[in-house]
């Protein structure tokens, strides 16, 4: 199977479009995950979505609604604990990660064909997406981008200087909840394509790659979205060419983009350091 099949097959064209949209959405929202140092929380959030996904599947309702509801429960719990300071947030997040994942596996294991379905929940099944899924991803992407644009100044200020934001009249907890809700919405949207585990790679890796190239937040969001979308294209192409899992290929493509960016940025810096250490006299003597 060649990469041309991606454009010839209606099913694969739909999967490719979904991969691009999910990659761009994750790369966009992931910048705030990186700025606020939330990768661990994002991992917990993706695992917390599993029970909701399983219950939604058993009830025959939308996986998106099930995963979103389950994720928002974790967001509310972490926000409540963080404001009350009764328990360290990272500790509560770790407990939720293990507990939610165990609950999801337990619920799924009681059903016939559980191994096959559980794999689809964990790593996604992008080739099974329907037009409604693609439309939902596009709508969520536009809505999330609009919220991030409308609250851009406040969210960035809250990420870098919470005390200053509070002094200006903003409520840091509200800003935190907005970011966490956007992450939860993104996770819920992406699970059908890349699963509850691999979505973390798309939320963290493209923004990290973007941060190596740019310093400002807005360009970082644009580059992150671009890297995420490109990872979707490369991953789907690799999946079609070599018949490998699409979700894993997309996540690996994002990782490769991060490694390539790190190498590309490090080589000129290393060359500049060598020239500086050599000094002008050393250059003239050659």
Residue 131 has pLDDT above 80, yes or no: yes
pLDDT interval class at 220 (50, 70, 90): very high
20 vs 118, residue with greater confidence: 20
Of 57-66, 210-219, 231-240, the one with minimum mean pLDDT is 57-66
Average pLDDT of the residues in 116-122: 67
In the structure encoding, which two tokens stand for residue 76, read together?
A: 């509310």
Residue 285 has pLDDT above 50, yes or no: no
Of 23-27, 118-122, 206-210, 270-274, the one with minimum mean pLDDT is 270-274
Q: What is the 3-state secondary structure (H, E, C) of the chain?
A: CCCCHHHHCHHHHHHHHHHHHHHHHHHHHHHHHHHCCCHHHHHHHHHHHHHHHHHHHHHCCCHHHHHHHHHHHHHHHHHHHHHHCCCCHHHHHHHHHHHHHHHHHHHHHCCCCHHHHHHHHHHCCHHHCCHHHHHHHHHHHHHHHHHHHHCHHHHHHHHHCHHHHHHCCCCHHHHHHHHHHHHHHHHHHHHHHHHHHHHHHHHHHHHHHHHHHCCCHHHHHHHHHHHHHHHHHHHHHHHHHHCCCHHHHHHHHHHHHHHHHHHHHHHHHHHHHHHHHHHHHHHHHC
pLDDT in tens, 226-272: 999 999 999 999 988 888 888 899 999 999 999 999 999 888 766 66
Write down the pLDDT at residue 102: 77
pLDDT interval class at 284 (50, 70, 90): very low
81 vs 71, residue with greater confidence: 71
Percent of the chain with pLDDT over 70: 81
Residue 91 has pLDDT above 80, yes or no: no
Q: How far is CA 245 from CA 67, 122, 197, 251, in A?
A: 22, 12, 14, 10
Domain ranges of the chain: 5-276
10 vs 217, residue with greater confidence: 217
Q: Are 24 and 77 in contact (CB under 8 A)?
A: no
Domain 5-276 has CATH 1.10.3470.10: yes
pLDDT interval class at 89 (50, 70, 90): low
Residue 167 has pLDDT above 80, yes or no: yes
Reported pTM: 0.86
Write down the pLDDT at residue 236: 93
């Amino acid at each position: 199977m060649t990469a041309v099949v991606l454009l010839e097959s209606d099913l694969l064209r739909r999967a490719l479009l979904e991969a691009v949209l999910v990659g761009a959405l994750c790369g966009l929202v992931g910048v705030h995950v990186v700025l606020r140092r939330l990768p661990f929380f994002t991992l917990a959030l993706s695992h917390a979505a599993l029970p909701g996904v399983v219950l939604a599947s058993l009830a025959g309702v939308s996986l998106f609604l099930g995963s979103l509801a389950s994720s928002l429960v974790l967001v509310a719990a972490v926000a409540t604990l963080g404001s009350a300071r009764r328990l360290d947030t990272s500790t509560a997040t770790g407990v939720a990660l293990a507990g939610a994942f165990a609950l999801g596996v337990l619920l799924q294991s009681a059903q016939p064909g559980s191994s096959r379905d559980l794999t689809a929940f964990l790593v996604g099944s992008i080739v099974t997406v329907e037009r409604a899924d693609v439309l939902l991803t596009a709508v969520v992407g536009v809505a999330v981008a609009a919220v991030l644009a409308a609250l851009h100044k406040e969210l960035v200020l809250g990420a870098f200087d919470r005390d200053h934001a509070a002094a200006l009249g903003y409520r840091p907890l509200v800003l935190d909840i907005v970011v966490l809700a956007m992450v939860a919405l993104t996770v819920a949207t992406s699970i059908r394509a890349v699963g509850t585990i691999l979505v973390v790679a798309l939320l963290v890796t493209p923004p990290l790659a973007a941060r190596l190239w740019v310093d400002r937040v807005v360009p970082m969001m644009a580059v992150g979205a671009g890297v995420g979308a490109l990872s979707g294209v490369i991953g789907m192409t690799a999946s079609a060419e070599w018949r490998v899992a699409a979700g894993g290929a997309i996540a690996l493509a994002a990782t490769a983009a991060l490694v390539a960016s790190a190498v590309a940025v490090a080589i000129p810096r290393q060359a500049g350091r060598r020239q500086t250490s050599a000094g002008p006299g050393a250059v003239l003597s050659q």
